[in-house]
Amino acid sequence: MGTIYDLAKKTGFSITTVSKALNNYKDVSDKTRAKILQAAAEMDYLPNAHAQSLSTKKSWAIGVMFSEANEVGMKHPFFNGIIESFRHATEEQGYDLIFASRNLRNRDMSYLEHFKHRAVDGIVVICSDRMDEQVQELMRSDIPIVVVDMDSANCSVVYSDNIEGARLAVNYLYELGHRKIAHIAGDETIDAGAARIKGYELAMQELDLPIRPGYLVNAGFFSVGEGKQAMERLLELDDQPTAVFVAGDQMAIGVIEAIHEHGLHVPNDISVIGYDDIEMIQYITPKLTTIRQDTDEIGEAAAELLLEQMTAKERLTERRVIPVRLVERASCAPVKQ
Amino acid sequence: MGTIYDLAKKTGFSITTVSKALNNYKDVSDKTRAKILQAAAEMDYLPNAHAQSLSTKKSWAIGVMFSEANEVGMKHPFFNGIIESFRHATEEQGYDLIFASRNLRNRDMSYLEHFKHRAVDGIVVICSDRMDEQVQELMRSDIPIVVVDMDSANCSVVYSDNIEGARLAVNYLYELGHRKIAHIAGDETIDAGAARIKGYELAMQELDLPIRPGYLVNAGFFSVGEGKQAMERLLELDDQPTAVFVAGDQMAIGVIEAIHEHGLHVPNDISVIGYDDIEMIQYITPKLTTIRQDTDEIGEAAAELLLEQMTAKERLTERRVIPVRLVERASCAPVKQ
DNA sequence: CCTCTTCCCGAAAGCGCTTTCGGTAATTTG
DNA sequence: CAAATTACCGAAAGCGCTTTCGGGAAGAGG
């Protein structure tokens, strides 16, 4: 492959000139530039990224951190959608993504330390627990950072309009005639969970609907199993809801399962509406009506906010709230008389 | 953060000694090592990875390439399972994963070029089209590489036992009394598709079952829509199958949809068995019986084969075939009399 | 007491690249 | 034609680290 030294030797110019030719400096003549480029092509020359980074202090790499909670890792469909679109957007600008191990040759370090070690140009953190000490540390650092699906005053953030989403859901159920609307919620330590709860309460209040005892149930961390358990608790109530707004699609799947196992029918007996619009819910029975989060736009926005900071070379704190919309499918029906 | 120069100044030792202390060379006394480590901790010293890589020619990074076909990218659930377990396994050894953009500051280069530029220690390629020129180039290179879900004589590979999987599926249907067994296949240009076809043909032959006209239908690249279309073609046959072995779970979802839309019932009218065991098929109706690919083990095996080559510093060509198993759920039933 | 090891430490070169700064040759200007 | 630009090129320092090699001091052996 060779280095610029080889190129210099081969062309007879100095390494300075070679480097300049390669980097489009204007103080090399077209003729020598052409010669050098030609030679570079002939010997399959490729610049060494490490040497470049060392010298320029720019690594063209973005560190990715995501929640390992629930053992989902990279398997979480919502996370994946976001990271995929984030990847596309940053890749266009020439950045690589690096998924950091926290294990530096057997000395394990924090994510921040690792990212500093790797000298990434920026960091994106996705789907995380705001209480996570690691995340806090990242947010306190001076590396450009964007946080997805979580709010913070100290760094750029992007998340869906969860309040509005919850309102959409509740209003939709209301228009179908439902008055006894329950909410199976995500844990309040997760921003998205808390916001949807807030939106639910707000919407109910606006509609002058009381939140009956037991109608707001914390189902934890968005898994199918937790959703199912939560629904079972609702089904034990004397005063059962006719509709339930579930804070996540995966939980909603569990919810439907519980309802079915109880011998009831969705949506004829109970309507359920989810949140996220992950792909698979189109294929379950009944197809799930849900609030769609636009993962493409979230990813793009995150990329935009991060790139902005990286070029500005200063910490910005912009907040981007991505609109959501209702996707009507088959899991909600007018209330039975 | 500081460099080793700062550490040297602070402790009064030379940078040589500092470096040695940090890297556990034995020709520094315990006392000075302690001092240096202490000072390092005090000033939050972290070694610069680029400088290290430049000097040692080891980057502790593994390049990841995956298929962009079908626009799935990182969203493909099967891919994700594998990469997640691969990540875990390599992370334990201190490696980071880098998802390469092919856009080096607006000059777009091949994956191989990019990986060379980044000086990765190894490459993993997943779920790819064997015809892809980029993949071919990677396989021809001299960088340690492991290929998943594809066969090749020139590099280490790991894939599921697709022949056996197909056989398991066909035999299972046979035992349920089915004799008219069709196969909705993946494209033959995909190794997994081809192997499952072969397994299907083999199994049918072993059971002395004829493959009736139109019973082997190419459904392309494993999407829900393609599966659905393929099933529609089967349903147009005068001599309809009583069971169908589908080469992928996503396609199977489309298959079931087509059958239902045709007014038939799964499994009472037609039995369906899938392939992969992606998470969501537990939640569709009926729950899909399938051949389970062990993504965890595939990822681990891939990591193992790659790490092996990286430490051996030579190209190896081991082949690892991961066993599969039948997961019985509710989409298959005894044949109607 | 002298020599031979052993134990520690540091000078220096090298990894591959960028960038400042100065210098020469060619060109323009008055 | 002299002076002032302009165009082009290169020496050298620097980025932060590793590793070879040699040398001084201390301890061991005779």
**For residue range B102-153, what is the model confidence (pLDDT) as tens digits?**
665 556 789 999 999 999 999 999 866 777 888 889 999 999 999 999 999 9
The DSSP letter of residue A70 is G
For residue B63, give the chain A residue with the closest CA.
Answer: A98
The pLDDT, as a whole number, for residue B208 is: 97
Helices and strands per DSSP (H, E), number in chain A: 12, 14
Interval A106-123: pLDDT, tens: 567 899 999 999 999 999
3-class DSSP state for residue B248?
A: coil
Q: Work out the minimum CA distance from B210 to partner chain A, whole angstroms.
A: 33
Residue A284 in contact with residue B284, Cβ under 8 Å?
A: yes
pLDDT at B71 over 60: no
In this prediction, residues B183-194 reach a mean pLDDT of: 93
As a whole number, the mean pLDDT across chain B is: 93
The pLDDT, as a whole number, for residue B104 is: 53
Residue B255: which of B212, B278, B223 has the closest Cα? B223
Interval A123-146: pLDDT, tens: 999 866 777 888 889 999 999 999
The band of A75, judged by pLDDT with boundaries at 50, 70 and 90, is low
Query: Quick check: B99 and A102 CB within 8 A?
Result: no
The pLDDT, as a whole number, for residue B310 is: 94
Interval B153-165: pLDDT, tens: 999 999 999 999 9
Rg value, chain B, Cα = 26
Distance CA(B185)–CA(B292), nearest Å, equals 17
On chain A, the residues whose CB falls within 8 A of the CB of B66 are none
Residue B116 in contact with residue B123, Cβ under 8 Å?
A: no
pLDDT at A1 over 60: yes
H-run or E-run covering A134: helix A133-140
The band of A315, judged by pLDDT with boundaries at 50, 70 and 90, is confident
Distance CA(B261)–CA(B270), nearest Å, equals 13
Residue B66 in contact with residue B127, Cβ under 8 Å?
A: yes
Distance CA(B67)–CA(B189), nearest Å, equals 13
The pLDDT, as a whole number, for residue A70 is: 54
pLDDT at B66 over 90: no
The DSSP letter of residue A177 is T
Interval A15-47: pLDDT, tens: 999 999 999 999 999 999 999 999 999 999 999
Query: What residue type is assigned to position B231 of the chain?
Result: M
The band of B304, judged by pLDDT with boundaries at 50, 70 and 90, is very high
Near-strand C residues (CB closer than 7 A): A 3-5, 15-16, 19-20, 22-23, 27, 45-48, 51-52, 54-56; B 12-17, 26-33, 51, 54-55, 57
Query: What residue type is assigned to position B223 of the chain?
Result: S
A56 touches strand D (CB under 7 A): no
In this prediction, residues A64-78 reach a mean pLDDT of: 70
pLDDT at A290 over 70: yes
In this prediction, residues B294-317 reach a mean pLDDT of: 94
B213 upstream amide cis, omega within 30 of 0:
no
pLDDT at B333 over 90: yes
The band of B1, judged by pLDDT with boundaries at 50, 70 and 90, is confident
Q: Write down all domains in chain A, each with its CATH number in brackets.
A: 4-47 (1.10.260.40), 61-160+296-323 (3.40.50.2300), 162-293 (3.40.50.2300)
When CB atoms are compared, the residue of B84, B90, B285 closest to A75 is B84
Buried b (16+ CB within 10 A) or exposed e, B99-115: bbbbbbeeeebebbbbb
Q: How far is the CA of A28 from the C1' of C25 (A)?
A: 14
pLDDT at B239 over 90: yes
In this prediction, residues A46-63 reach a mean pLDDT of: 97
Residue B224: which of B249, B205, B203, B241 has the closest Cα? B249
On chain B, the residues whose CB falls within 8 A of the CB of A59 are 50
Packing angle of the helix pair B49-56, A49-56 (nearest 10 deg): 140
A38 at B interface, C-beta within 8 A: no
Tell me how crowded residue A328 is: count the other CB atoms within 10 A of its CB: 12
Among A76-85, A237-246, B140-149, the minimum mean pLDDT is found in: A76-85
Among B45-59, B97-111, B183-197, the minimum mean pLDDT is found in: B97-111
CA A128 to chain centre: 9
Distance CA(B224)–CA(A231), nearest Å, equals 30
The DSSP letter of residue A288 is P
Q: Count of CB contacts below 8 A, A vs B?
A: 140
Among A178-182, A244-248, B92-96, B170-174, the minimum mean pLDDT is found in: B92-96
Interval A145-190: pLDDT, tens: 999 999 998 999 999 999 999 999 999 999 999 999 999 999 998 8
> What torsion do the CA atoms of B237, B238, B239, B241 make, to the nearest 10 degrees?
40
The pLDDT, as a whole number, for residue B106 is: 57
